[in-house]
Structure 1
Amino acid sequence: MNRHRPSASPDWVERAESIEGVERIEAFFHGKAYAMHRHDTYAIGRTLAGVQSFNYRRGQCNSLPGHTLVLHPDEPHDGQAGTGEGFQYRMIYVQPSLFQDVLGGRTLPFLEGGVTTDPRLSAATGALLQQMSYTLEPLEQNDALTELIHALADVTGTAKLRPTGDYRAARLARDFLHAHSTEAVALEALEGATGRDRWSLSRDFRQFYGTSPYRYLTMRRLDTVRRLLLAGTSLSQAAAAAGFADQPHMTRHFSKAFGMTPGQWLRVARG
């Protein structure tokens, strides 16, 4: 776990150690926290203090202390304080593939509006949104995630929906993209690996993993960039190692995904 509290700013972020596809943070921000961005994970959290405001699906949302947030993968959003006092929150970022391990090919749950006071989701997120000093055991995290995913499917009505896409093809595509994440993946190669035409595959992939194959590939490259930056690799070297054409290309994608430049992110992440 680390905390970063710059002397020139009261804003801070704590990060717990990531465990099997789940990132956990607690943060406090005054004013603007993040520019408009989108990532390919679920962002599920709770406001602890203040008013947490964000633009999401063509509207502004305000989360108050005790409210639960569930932002769907690949949906653009930003983040800022709704009052001058700032806001504090905890958040987990969960890969949709972990949802599919539980859902087994059902459509990903979508919570309309992004904010809820439903007691089922409040209870189901409790174990995962503990303070950062608490270390979740892998089995404990798995049990808590399973409970949360089932609760979210029930609350949103997803549990009653029958999938229409080809889950096997989408999963094969995901495995192929992981194996070739630093390469320029050709559409023909993806079609050959899955036995599915590119248009049907793109639709299937978005249904089961919440984003397009190209966006998924880009986010895996950005995961590599973040890991390398924390290890002290330069921006240009990290961009090349992750498979980006150059540093500006990587920086554009990074800002779109995380709402801040790589340099800004690194200053916050290095506590």
Structure 2
Amino acid sequence: MPDTRTPVFVSTMTNDRFEVFHSFVHVEDGLRLHTHDHYEINCVLDGTAAFHVDDRLVETRPGSVIMINPGVVHNVVRQTTPRYERVYLHITPRFLQAVSTPNTDLERCFRTADGVPTNRVLAMQVAQLHETLDPLLHAPTAAYGEDLRHERQLVDAMIRFNELAMAGTDMQPLPKMNVAYSPTVARAMRYIDEHIGEDLCLDAIAAYCATNKFSLSRDFKRELGTTPARFVQSRRLQRSRRLLPQLGSPKLIYRMCGFKSYTHFLRSFQQEFGMTTGEFLEWSRTPADRREA
């Protein structure tokens, strides 16, 4: 059986502007996590579900609007009501930059006040969310002016999302949810994050958690659906993905992320994210230009 928790890179946009999807499809457990080279805004109209965003888990409900940056691992991981209706928007950075103005930066909702990329969960009244999205659910015809009207409706939605994100004194990022892990697993996860660049053998992690490696492995499999070794590698790769655009060279970061072999790091990165480190650097810097090439 394939590992559905291994993230994959997907980019299915057919244009360089935006796309709108309306879905009622039941979410099967075990959907693969994935990433894009464009923004995604996931809006819940009805029902509830658990949504994975990077290293966080969000319990979505009607009115939830999740703002997801390019390159961030995400997906719905569990539907918790019989019906789950959602609309998701895929938007290229280039399009938002083209329609923004000096006074109205439509990418602002994807960043902190200091300009650091961040993911958010917004809460809207369901009626207000319908009012925002309903005009976008009808694909434009080939009639004169319809494409521009559809584009204007998307811009109106982005203005509303940004206004909502900026409504508070501070623009708040997505909170870490209180996932009910056992004390042993929570302690192990914290230890791994704090020592990610070091030698993290299973015996050392188990000893820190005052347990044995067999019990720890069973706990990880039950609560996280993976092994401690696989969890460690995933966290190392997530860290490498964050550091790579900052430092610009895989050779500068692979040891910082706990990899002893450069070739093993390169191979693991490609398997995890579906692209080489060079390809990742290219699209993270100029995603729209790369897509048009």
Report the TM-score, using the length of structure 1 for normalisation.
0.49
Report the TM-score, using the length of structure 2 for normalisation.
0.46
